[in-house]
Amino acid sequence: MVDTTKHTSLFQVKGLGDLSHASAVYSRDARYAYIFGRDGGLSKIDLLCGILVKRVVQGGNSIGGAISQNGRLIAVSNYEPGGVKVFSADDLELVADIPATRISKGKGSKTVGLVDAPGQRFVFSLFDSGEIWVADLSNPRSPAIQRFRNIGRQPYDALISPDGRYYIAGLFGEDGLVLLDLWHPKQGARRILDHYGKGEQKLPVYKMPHLEGWAFAGERAFLPAVGHHEVLVVNSRDWREAGRIQVHGQPIFVMARPDGRQIWVNFAFPNNDTIQVINTETLKIIKTFKPGKGALHMEFTPRGEEVWISVRDQDRVKIYDTHSLELIDSLPADKPSGIFFTARAHKTGL
C-alpha cells in the first residue's frame, strides 16, 4: 500500500497466495480491495486498517475479476475449472456459479476478459469454445445469460470502452478482433480489423498482450496486433483501421494518460526493458527509454501527472513525470508486478 502524493510505502499485507498474475478491484468508497490470485484465491483487504479481512480459494486457477456497478458483487473468472463465480462483496459468500461451456475431456472452457458493464452486468469471453457471454446479475441468485457463439478462435482477453458500451475481444487463434455493442446486443458480435496480419510472417508471442491495459484516447482506440511489433490505431466511430505505429517489440500494455494526450507502451521478453511514449495527435514516438529488465506494469496517477512502473528484475517501482518524461523517484519492492491505484474504484471495466 503506497501514498502516491508522498511517494512512500505505508504497509504490506501478506498471506494472499500466488500473486504471479494478480489483479485488484476496489469498493466504491475505496476502503476495500479485492485481490484475485493465480491460485484461485479471492482476498478482501481493509485498506484503512491494513488487514486481510477474508480469503477464499474459489477455483484452481483464476486470472482476474470485476466488481459490479452497484459495488455489491465480486465476479471471478477461472481457467480451472472454467466459468465465473460471483460473490457477495460484503462477506465473500458465493452468490452464483456460472459454469462455462464444456469442452473435450469434460472440462469447462477457460474464461477470460471479465469486465463489469452498466445494468448490473458482467461480460466475459470463453477461450476454448469461442464465445462471449453477457451475464445480467440484476437478480444475483438467478443470472440471465446471453451467449454469442462462433465469434472466432481463442479469444484471449478483452476490454470495455470507458462509457461501458463496447466490449472488444482479441483473438489469438486468428487475425482480427470481435466487437459487441452492449447498447444493441441483438445485433450480435461482429469482426473488426479482420485479417490485419494476413499474408505476413508473424513473430513469436512470448507474452500475451493485455487488452484491459490498452487505450482509448478521444475518438481513437489503440489495440494490439498479436505477433507483430505494432500498435493498431482504430477510429472508434466506425471501428476501421486508422493507422499503425511501428514499435520496439511485441506490446503488452498500451495505456493512455488520463487526458488522452500520450500513450505509454511496454513490451514482452526479450524487449521488456524498454518503454515508449507515443503522441496521440501525431502518432509519433516521442521518447524511448529503458527503466530496466522486467518493466512489466504501468499505472497513471488519477490526473496523469505521474506514471508508476514496476521493474521486476531491479526490485524497484520507478516513478516518471509525464510532462518532462524524466525519472523523479523510485521505491524498493520485492519483484513488483501489477500496480492498481484506488481511482479505479470509479471507472467502468477496471
Summarize pLDDT for 20-73 with one digit per residue, the tens.
Answer: 888 999 999 999 999 999 899 999 999 999 999 999 999 877 878 999 999 999
Q: What is the pLDDT of residue 224?
A: 76
Q: What is the pLDDT of residue 198?
A: 60
For the entire predicted model, the pTM comes to: 0.93
Q: What is the pLDDT of residue 81?
A: 87
**How many other C-beta atoms lie within 10 A of the C-beta of residue 118?**
13
**Omega before 155 within 30 of 0, i.e. cis:** no
Closest CA to 220 of 261, 190, 188, 185: 261
Mean pLDDT, all residues of the chain: 92
Q: Which fold has domain 1-192?
A: Methanol Dehydrogenase; Chain A (2.140.10)
More confident residue, 286 or 156: 286
Q: What is the pLDDT of residue 205?
A: 63
d(CA 236, CA 148): 22
Q: How far is CA 118 from CA 4, 111, 308, 349, in A?
A: 29, 20, 29, 10
Let me know: does 206 contact 252? Beta carbons within 8 Å: no
Q: How far is CA 160 from CA 193, 336, 347, 348, in A?
A: 17, 26, 11, 8
Closest CA to 89 of 138, 16, 134, 26: 26
- pLDDT tens profile 225-254: 777 899 999 998 999 999 999 999 999 999
Hey, where are the domains in the chain? 1-192, 213-350
Q: What is the pLDDT of residue 200?
A: 62
Q: What cell does 247 get?
A: 514499435
Q: What is the pLDDT of residue 213?
A: 66
Q: How far is CA 54 from the centre of its chain?
A: 24
User: Which numeric CATH code is attached to 213-350?
Assistant: 2.130.10.10
Residue in the structure block whose three cell numbers are 519492492: 333
Amino acid at 331: L
**Omega before 81 within 30 of 0, i.e. cis:** yes
In the predicted model, is pLDDT for residue 322 greater than 80? yes
Percentage of the chain lying above the pLDDT 70 cut: 95
Q: What is the pLDDT of residue 21?
A: 80
- pLDDT tens profile 81-103: 899 999 999 999 999 999 999 99
- pLDDT tens profile 155-214: 988 999 989 999 999 888 888 899 999 999 999 999 998 877 665 666 666 566 667 767
